[in-house]
Structure 1
Amino acid sequence: MRNYGDIFTRKPAASTYPTQPAALGEVVEVLADGYVGAIVGHEKTYDGDFIRLENNQGKTRLFKLRPGAFLVDGIRTTLTKPQPAARPQRSNSGSTRVVDAPAKVAAPSRIWVEGVHDAAIVEKIWGHDLRVEGVVVEYLEGLDNLPHRLAEFRPAQGRRVGVLADHLVAGSKETRLTDRVGEHVLVTGHPYIDIWAAVKPERLGIRAWPDIPRGEDWKTGVCARLGWANPKEGWNRVYRAVSTYKDIDSTLIGAVERLVDFVTTPELTKADLR
């Protein structure tokens, strides 16, 4: 008779799940309580590695990176802390990459980005260059917060702020909010209603971004017309389509490059960058 051992004390086999890095901008669901949000940050604590998720109401929460703790596109997944990729000769922004250059200590100046998706795109393309310069990129959580954030930060000579805004066109609310920010603050932006539209449509296999009538939620309308399930799927498609500056419109490239120049080159004035 075959001996199966002590079946009452045998430990069950450990479950295994697909693993992927917790990339900024990735939309995930927390298995434990159903919380859904975009990854907007990584944090290290005494208890291990965590990610910060922001939901569609702008609220954020921290979650520990546990095995199989998240759903990604409906699949139970283990998220891990992203590791530095192999470094090519040129960075994603097109600049010459300085091999083995250590990141500088964070400079007093900052770049603030209005939207969470905008911040993810900026980090993906310009992240290496900004770290080399010691420039910190922060999520502004909406342009309405700009006056309050500036009052707290107190920009001054050598302590500049660059702000990237959505839909920065003449006469818009966004433009009016940024008219009188002072000489130590530079606001730039792109003309699109959403950062998605700054991505070249051919990178997503479409001829053009759909026209969405005023009053209809832009992301929802785009997804409906392109046959995407929802904005979560749409953002994952957009984010994965972007690898370098060549994948986005020149208006966004120019806007970010001016901000980088402004916060890293003290001798430049706002007038020099218009």
Structure 2
Amino acid sequence: MTPLDYEFLRKLLKERSGLDLSSDKQYLVESRLIPLARRVGLPGISDLVQKMKTGSAEALVGEVVEAMTTNETFFFRDKIPFEHLRDTMLPELLQVRASRRALRIWCAASSTGQEPYSIAMCLKEFGVALSGWRIEILATDLSQGVLEKSKAGLFSQFEVQRGLPIQLLVKHFTQVGEMWQINADLRAMVAHRQLNLLQDFSHLGAFDVIFCRNVLIYFDQETKTSIFERLARASEPDGFMVLGAAESAVGISDAFRPHPDRRGLYRPNATRGPKLGVTASTPQVARAVAMASR
């Protein structure tokens, strides 16, 4: 791969996915794209680049972006965000949403499904407390391929051994040959949609909880600021946002403020005015803003 090939790929990936590769990441590009080049019958990355430059290989461009942006995931990854969900977010939301009896949760970089299904299992633990509630977990990702895997809910022995307690495996999965499939009731809790975070997502509406973990670390600061601003508009005024362990909104955007004693947990900044889909003059919003400002 020549320096010009690498610069072409850096620019392409930044425009299509927000991935901001530094000048010393050629090894990563080679490890991800050489297998793809061989799979499509090309000798190497330079040939891959030349084919993309013809302007008639949009499907190939999509495969390149997918190969570079697919990241690993596992059930209950990092544990702490799911403890926050069980111990902080859900108990509060059960109170403030008691009249509505509905919750909307968005996994903004859901990959192959371990995160949204981990959330679904947490919700199941609340049992009768959520009986009769309308629950929506929306899983979005740039890659259609990982979304299809998530929809199927089929995981290998290796995948279910990573982070998933044995009692939850027995309770919520059925063995299918050498694979494990998450049960239909949990699959029905998760809706899937392909989405690029660089593009407008206001059509999704407002969410009570947004998980946006381990994706913003790949973006430059300007892109992060833009995404935080739009995530805030997609958050209920008294909602929550969860970031990855290596991510922070502090110093990047004032759209969110950190929860005082819950690492990685954020609240929309109530001083910034009404959010998407609400009217500031309604009593419901007044109560929500009061809650968010505590």
Q: TM-score with structure 1 length normalisation?
A: 0.25
| TM-score, normalised by the number of residues in structure 2 | 0.24
